Structure 1
Amino acid sequence: MYNKIDKYLLKGGDFVLGTARSKKKKNKNKLLLFFLLIIFSILLIGRYYKNGLMAVSAENPTNINIEIPNGSSSKKIATILKEEGLIKNEFIFRIAVKNKKAEGNLKAGIYTLNTGMSTDEIIYELSKGGKNDNVIKFTIPEGYEIRQMADKLAEEGIVDKKRFIELTSDKKYFQDKYPFLMELADGQSLEGFLYPSTYEIYIGTSEEDIISKMISQFVQVYERDIESSTGDLDLSLNEIVTLASIIEREAKLDEERELISAVFHNRLKENMLLQSCATVQYVLGERKEVLSEKDIQIKSDFNTYIHQGLPPAPIASPGKKSLIAALNPAEVNYLYFRTKDDGTGAHTFSRTYEEHLKANPKK
């Protein structure tokens, strides 16, 4: 038998139970709403992603010529494509490249793409490599001088020799576009700063644009592979490239570049003449295998047989390996080297002049 208090408590219990059920129902509704929002968001993101993969203008496609530089990351490529109006979204392009595992397959080159291509189609084309009937290739070997470049490109019908030499004879023509050239002496040529490589250009490309392309490639290689090491040595940009150009001209084997670099570094420390035959050949304008006594006495600031220190400017265009060697000399105390007479291009290295004299190039 319940008293009034018991009845009151019983009714209160029903109320508490009802309240708990109500809260549980509300929580279920909230959870359901949460899951619905997630599903909706996923569908929305999926639709956004799918739309981002579609062609920019499928109904009215327009051909666009683009160039993908060597060493371009997927991020850089995405930026180029977006700026040229070939893709809708850079981030979606990068996700698509990753999903297709194509990051390492996108090739540098010149392409003719169009706004009617989907992102997947563009990735496919970039993975194949560029082809264009209006495009030609030319190669500048490592160690070439500007005069040799002019001769080669003129023979291939790519440049006007006189115009090419004129534009490369003074940095002033390009220093506004490439401020690093302001570090060079007034009137200094672009010798050493036209990077040796294989290039693709459109037929009819101007001498100015070809030279700019070669300077841009130098900048890219320098900033990516060289600049971080320049603080270890007290050398200016011009001195680094000058030393690298001498190494490029003296070295025939990759494994000797750092050894040859060490010889020149050691000589600079000892205030010795560098006595590089390559610098004399540069003055002579020909690459004589054997220099005469008269040759090594020729009057020129570039003649390291009569002037101490580095020449005032590079003597050729060094490649990446020589640029790296200029900043990373081997830890040896060699002061001399001479060519072996065995046809390999190898050198004999010596610590003293006596050792150098005894080294027989015919052995």
Structure 2
Amino acid sequence: MKTSTKKTRRIIGKIRMSLLIFLIICAYSGYQYFISLGFPVDKNSTDNILINIPKGASSSKIASILKDKNVIKNELYFKFISKQRKIGGKYQAGEYELNKAMNIDEIINKLIKGDIYVEAVKITIPEGFELKQIVDRLVNNDELNINREQLIDIIENKDFEFKFLKEIPKGKNRLEGFLFPDTYLFKKDISEEEIVFKMLNRFDEIFQNEYYKRAKELDMSIKDVITLASIIEREARVDKERKIISSVFHNRLKKDMLLQSCATVQYILGERKQNLTYQDLEIDSQYNTYIYKGLPPKPIASPGKASIEAALYPDDTSYLYFVAKGDGSHVFSRTYSEHLKAKNNN
């Protein structure tokens, strides 16, 4: 009888212990879930969202607005934090610029400080724009007050602490290829230096750590990667061909062949000529890849992310040539005789 009682107690003890462990796990999981409600909805998002907080809005109303705009994960969590910190009555009305990459603390601090949205100028810098085109677009915008000489001086001579600029010497066209093409919102009173910094910072956000590692694997400097990416950007018209075009240039570099990119000659000419003459192809310039082997000294335009990735991760092909077709796509060839045939057919 005593043995049976001891056995029962052991079983009950094990059950209690199992329940206790289960409750601890549940409590921990619940705590982790609760904490996660304050994390960003999408930490990789770069899209800004304008949100209007009405005058006199309660914490509940603000929580509902933020959840509808999908910048917070949970309304109850926002209200709980507001009540716990006793800040419900401190939120300021106004129009705010928020995004999904902000955590709940960042959002709350912005609403308390009244860091409202200031009317901004929307400017798009297309992929493949040259530095001079970027300068023109900024200077010629009537809503901004940008001084051309000052902007150029900052581009050529200002110190910016970015890893990718360490090997780039100061001077003419220094930041060619590194002012990232994107759609920007600039405050109307923004300075020339702030604009350049914002565009360089966007490049820094895009050029991930894995890109640095991959460049090292390819035995390429960051400048070389962006130079090749800029050529790909100017040559490619069809997205799916970017990595194939990249493979052609990589293969040519490995074989010590001339790159023979029309885009580099167009850069020398300062215009996008549809058809280059034999005289154009004989211009004596380090950017002329028809007479000088290897990559040009610097990028020839601002490449987008797809072209940067194409430069770093080319397709595995044996192509050495390509020729444009009328629809913007290309015919790729492995031998010169194939290439001549493709040219004659186009």
- TM-score, length basis structure 1: 0.66
After superposition, the Cα gap between the structure-2 partners of 1:64 and 1:296, relative to the gap in structure 1 and judged at 3 Å, is farther
After superposition, the Cα gap between the structure-2 partners of 1:211 and 1:49, relative to the gap in structure 1 and judged at 3 Å, is closer
Distance 2:261 2:132 in 1: 20
Letter paired with 1:307: Y
Distance 2:174 2:86 in 1: 45
Kindly state the Cα deviation for residue 202 of structure 1 after the two structures are TM-superposed.
1.2
CA displacement, residues 149-174 of structure 1 (integer Å, 9 cap, x when unaligned): 11112222333333222322x2x413
Give runs of aligned pairs for residues 151-162 of structure 1, distance below 5 A. 151-157=136-142, 158=144, 159-162=146-149
Match of 2:243 among 258, 261, 264: 258
CA contact (8 A) 1:143 1:248 kept: yes
The residue aligned with 1:357 is 340
SS in 1 for 2:302: coil
Letter paired with 2:193: E
Distance 1:80 1:279 in 2: 45
Letter paired with 2:223: N
The residue aligned with 2:40 is none
After superposition, the Cα gap between the structure-2 partners of 1:295 and 1:56, relative to the gap in structure 1 and judged at 3 Å, is farther
CA displacement, residues 93-129 of structure 1 (integer Å, 9 cap, x when unaligned): xxxxxxxxxxxxxxxxxxxx53189xxxx9xxxxxxx
The residue aligned with 1:307 is 292
SS in 2 for 1:137: strand
CA contact (8 A) 1:266 1:333 kept: yes
The residue aligned with 2:81 is 52
Distance 2:345 2:322 in 1: 14
Determine which structure has more spread, i.e. the larger CA radius of gyration: 1
Distance 1:264 1:292 in 2: 22
The residue aligned with 1:115 is 112
Match of 1:278 among 230, 242, 263: 263
Which 10-residue stretch deviates more, 216-225 or 232-241? 216-225
Distance 2:153 2:98 in 1: 29
After superposition, the Cα gap between the structure-2 partners of 1:68 and 1:279, relative to the gap in structure 1 and judged at 3 Å, is farther
Match of 1:182 among 161, 166, 169: 166
Letter paired with 1:212: F
Structure 2 residue 319 is matched with structure 1 residue 322 = no
Structure 2 residue 333 is matched with structure 1 residue 346 = no
- Structure 1 gaps of 5+ residues are 1-37, 88-112, 123-130
SS in 2 for 1:337: strand
Give runs of aligned pairs for residues 140-289 of structure 1, distance below 5 A. 140-157=125-142, 158=144, 159-168=146-155, 170=156, 172-175=157-160, 177-187=161-171, 189-223=174-208, 226-289=211-274
Distance 1:314 1:225 in 2: 21
Letter paired with 2:332: F
Distance 1:281 1:145 in 2: 11
Q: How many residues are matched?
A: 272
After superposition, the Cα gap between the structure-2 partners of 1:67 and 1:180, relative to the gap in structure 1 and judged at 3 Å, is farther
Distance 1:205 1:116 in 2: 21
Give runs of aligned pairs for residues 4-83 of structure 1, distance below 5 A. 52-54=81-83, 73-74=101-102, 77-78=103-104, 80-81=106-107
Distance 2:214 2:86 in 1: 43
Letter paired with 1:182: K
Letter paired with 1:294: Q
Distance 1:186 1:355 in 2: 44
CA displacement, residues 176-228 of structure 1 (integer Å, 9 cap, x when unaligned): x3243122235360011111011112111111111111100100010167345
Kindly state the Cα deviation for residue 243 of structure 1 after the two structures are TM-superposed.
0.4
The residue aligned with 2:316 is 331
Which 10-residue stretch deviates more, 288-297 or 53-62? 53-62
Letter paired with 1:161: R
Match of 1:137 among 122, 128, 142: 122
Distance 1:251 1:141 in 2: 14
CA contact (8 A) 2:82 2:88 kept: no
CA contact (8 A) 1:339 1:345 kept: yes
Kindly state the Cα deviation for residue 309 of structure 1 after the two structures are TM-superposed.
0.3
- Structure 2 gaps of 5+ residues are 1-26, 36-76
CA contact (8 A) 2:268 2:285 kept: yes
After superposition, the Cα gap between the structure-2 partners of 1:199 and 1:358, relative to the gap in structure 1 and judged at 3 Å, is same
CA displacement, residues 19-46 of structure 1 (integer Å, 9 cap, x when unaligned): xxxxxxxxxxxxxxxxxxx9xxx9xx99
Kindly state the Cα deviation for residue 277 of structure 1 after the two structures are TM-superposed.
0.7
Distance 2:90 2:225 in 1: 52
After superposition, the Cα gap between the structure-2 partners of 1:230 and 1:63, relative to the gap in structure 1 and judged at 3 Å, is farther
Cα RMSD, aligned residues only: 3.3
- TM-score, length basis structure 2: 0.69
